[in-house]
Structure 1
Amino acid sequence: MAIRLTDVANEAGVSLATASRVLNGSARKPAEEISLKVRQAAEKLGYFPNAQAQALARSSTKLIGLIVRDIADPYFSSIARGVQRGLGESGIQLLLASVGSDHERELETIRAFMSQRTDAIILSGSRLLEGDQQLEQLLENYQANGGQAIMIGQPLALTGGIQIDNDGTAADLASALVRLGHRRFAILAGDPELATPRHRAQGFSDKLERTGIAVEQTLHGAFSREGGYLAMSDFLTAREKRKESGQICVFCVSDVMALGALHAIRERGLRVPEDIAIVGFDDIPTLVDVTPSVSTARLPLEEIGRMAGEMVLSHSGAKLVVVSGVPMMRGSSELATAD
């Protein structure tokens, strides 16, 4: 049952007129402590301005919200392009928001899309390992009021969407590298509090362990190009201090991290793959411009976005689709030969 403004007024202990002034906009503003009480009651009950529930019940606004971490990242821009493909000639307009790693900004963006009466919200990006009660409550309220919520990466049970098999794909990538002949490995593992990098690093190292190979070093940092650059710089500094030599294969849990790592390697005057073999994950479009070509796990990024767009059109947001990647062995992971 849709939450009414009357319910909010009762919860806050104010009159209906006061609740309306706070939530629907009025020149006559109640005191700040009263306004705060009304807004807290509205969020607790799942009520949103602009009569979202009634509007969604009557008709479609033809608006879809897509929230990504960083639109400059080719991973997310490829997914966004795929969502547009999936929406096709439906006449639906896509509202795009890039929120970075700011959790509060993501929640505020969801609330903004709700108040704009979007028919659906698609969220793409790694989730926190320990879950997020605020996010779950917002999306639960949104769906209860008629909206669709679809997630790409690690869908919640209440939303559905496209789940990426990060563990299994990373394990397949490790197997492919062992078959090539690699026996020494390090991992640039990204942010350990995020599910995507954690699952990729874990799937890779677990597979090596089952093969009888131990990862020599695992470094954490930002799940970004800069994070890859800094982690690789630290790795190379430690390697120099230990006076280590010989080729080692470094798995970066995303392609953008791999690109940052490549920059750090070249700053030191080292060679790829002869000194450091590099492997990424995702197969973003910009890899074709890199020399040597970067080994990676290919995810069908545009196809993932297209599926999310089609879920919106078919109202199958509760459906869960699992997508796996495929190892792509290229020049950056070639096995060094003895001189």
Structure 2
Amino acid sequence: MAVTLAEVAAHAGVSPATVSRVLNGGYPVAGGTRTRVERAVEELGYIANAPARALAGATSDLIGILVHDIADGYFGVLTGGLQHGLDPTGEGEARRLSVVCNTQGVPATETACLALLEGQRAGGVVLAGAAAEDPEQTAALAARVARMAAAGARVVLCGRPPLPVSPALPVATVVFDERGGAFRLAEHLLALGHRRIAYVAGPPDRSSTRERLAGHREALRRHDPALTDACAPLTVHAGSERSAGYDATRELLRRGEPFTAVAAAGDAAAAGAAAALREAGLRIPEDVSVAGFDDLPFSQDTAPALTTVRVPLREAGALAAQLVTGRRPLPPGGITTLPTELMVRGSTAPPPATGRTP
């Protein structure tokens, strides 16, 4: 015979309501009491009836995680931090089932995945990664998110701008200081003496591309207004993958415009840029400096190690887990901005005083 909630409560010496609070999460329960309840659950082998709980309330224990591509290192690190945050002890404390949906960053796919999660009465959703800046799609996404939040699901936007929804709804936004990070990276290159800085930007319709490119250009403008126009022909929009950085850098070389540094709006693209430069017979950083963005795990192991901007992806994932489960209240205004950090390594150096440049 199945163990009942009342039996768990009696075994733990607490009320059934307290057991329910512990199992549902998101409610303040004293640490000692929570431990007794969890021990009773384990000893008695209690299994919650998730469908019944979903019918009784507005939502289930399902957490949906929407990413562009889980195989991308950016999303792999972020999702790892998020899933660890759902079960920080590694002992099943959070009692959440998470499902990862690959959307390729396509707005229609995002809304379709949200519709499926809404049908499953998901208790929470995390939408991660840059947003496509299309007003019609943004409105459709905001309407879907608002409806889910109004039904009781917590929604967290991570690494993207806030949506136009009511501040009364349980919708939180975690953003990175991408503009500031790109500004500091460009300042670093300028301080080294670079004036012909190529920039491999992300797709032109993405929120992160806008922020990072704006920071890069602002640093150029503040150093010397003439640099903005001088470096404009050295900007190429590309994807975030290694092959995109490789192709974009080959295009820059083909144009014949001289440059002494390449800043890529992503570490994978920076790795591709470095490969294209080496293929052209150029040394890094002796002939051309290379820098990336995100500080993915491989960045320290390249030769030379990659100068980049650290985005706190794992920390953001852990924070998103706390917000989507209700273990952390919504911040004032619903928005949390996480800082980025310049990581100076061996791939950047002063430009060559003489000798060849592309």
TM-score (normalised: structure 1): 0.78
Q: In the alignment, what sits opposite 1:193?
A: 205
Q: In the alignment, what sits opposite 1:94?
A: 98
Q: In the alignment, what sits opposite 2:254?
A: 237
Identity %: 32
Show CA shifts across 1:260-308 (max 9, x none): 2122222222221122211111101121221111111111110010000
- Matching residue within 143, 153, 156 for 1:137: 143
Q: Is the 8 A contact 1:128 1:195 kept in 2?
A: yes
Q: In the alignment, what sits opposite 1:151?
A: 157
Q: CA deviation at 1:224?
A: 2.8
- The SS at the match of 2:347 is helix
Q: CA deviation at 1:57?
A: 6.1
Q: For residues 204 and 56 of structure 1, what CA distance do their matches in structure 2 show?
A: 51
Q: In the alignment, what sits opposite 1:85?
A: 84
Q: For residues 154 and 180 of structure 2, what CA distance do their matches in structure 1 show?
A: 29
Q: In the alignment, what sits opposite 1:228?
A: 245
Q: For residues 326 and 288 of structure 2, what CA distance do their matches in structure 1 show?
A: 47
Q: Is the 8 A contact 1:74 1:286 kept in 2?
A: no
Q: Is the 8 A contact 2:241 2:269 kept in 1?
A: yes
Show CA shifts across 1:191-228 (max 9, x none): 11111012101111111111103352211122332221
- The SS at the match of 2:239 is coil
Q: For residues 196 and 272 of structure 1, what CA distance do their matches in structure 2 show?
A: 27
- Matching residue within 316, 324, 342 for 1:327: 342
Q: Is the 8 A contact 2:194 2:351 kept in 1?
A: no
- The SS at the match of 1:335 is coil
Q: In the alignment, what sits opposite 1:116?
A: 120
Q: Is the 8 A contact 1:299 1:325 kept in 2?
A: yes
- The SS at the match of 1:160 is strand
Q: Is the 8 A contact 1:149 1:317 kept in 2?
A: no
- Matching residue within 109, 116, 137 for 1:105: 109
- The SS at the match of 2:285 is coil
Counterpart AA for 1:102? V
- The SS at the match of 1:182 is coil
Question: In structure 2, do the counterparts of structure 1 residues 56 and 124 end up closer, same or farther at CA, with 3 Å as the change threshold?
Answer: farther
- The SS at the match of 1:274 is coil
- The SS at the match of 1:171 is helix
- Matching residue within 281, 285, 291 for 1:269: 281
Q: Is the 8 A contact 1:148 1:317 kept in 2?
A: no
Q: For residues 110 and 335 of structure 1, what CA distance do their matches in structure 2 show?
A: 48
Q: For residues 56 and 267 of structure 2, what CA distance do their matches in structure 1 show?
A: 43
Q: In the alignment, what sits opposite 2:36?
A: none
Q: For residues 164 and 283 of structure 1, what CA distance do their matches in structure 2 show?
A: 13
Q: For residues 55 and 269 of structure 2, what CA distance do their matches in structure 1 show?
A: 41
Q: CA deviation at 1:136?
A: 0.8
- The SS at the match of 1:100 is coil
- Matching residue within 278, 286, 307 for 1:295: 307
Counterpart AA for 2:236? L
TM-score (normalised: structure 2): 0.74
Bigger mean CA offset, 199-208 vs 124-133: 124-133
- The SS at the match of 1:332 is coil
Q: Is the 8 A contact 1:166 1:199 kept in 2?
A: yes
Q: Is the 8 A contact 1:190 1:227 kept in 2?
A: no
Counterpart AA for 2:347? S
Q: For residues 105 and 323 of structure 2, what CA distance do their matches in structure 1 show?
A: 26
Question: In structure 2, do the counterparts of structure 1 residues 125 and 288 end up closer, same or farther at CA, with 3 Å as the change threshold?
Answer: same
Bigger mean CA offset, 295-304 vs 161-170: 161-170
Count of matched residue pairs: 282
Q: For residues 290 and 208 of structure 2, what CA distance do their matches in structure 1 show?
A: 19
- Matching residue within 123, 129, 141 for 1:125: 129
Show CA shifts across 1:33-90 (max 9, x none): xxxxxxxxxxxxxxxxxxx9x9376275221010101111111111001111221221
Counterpart AA for 1:123? L
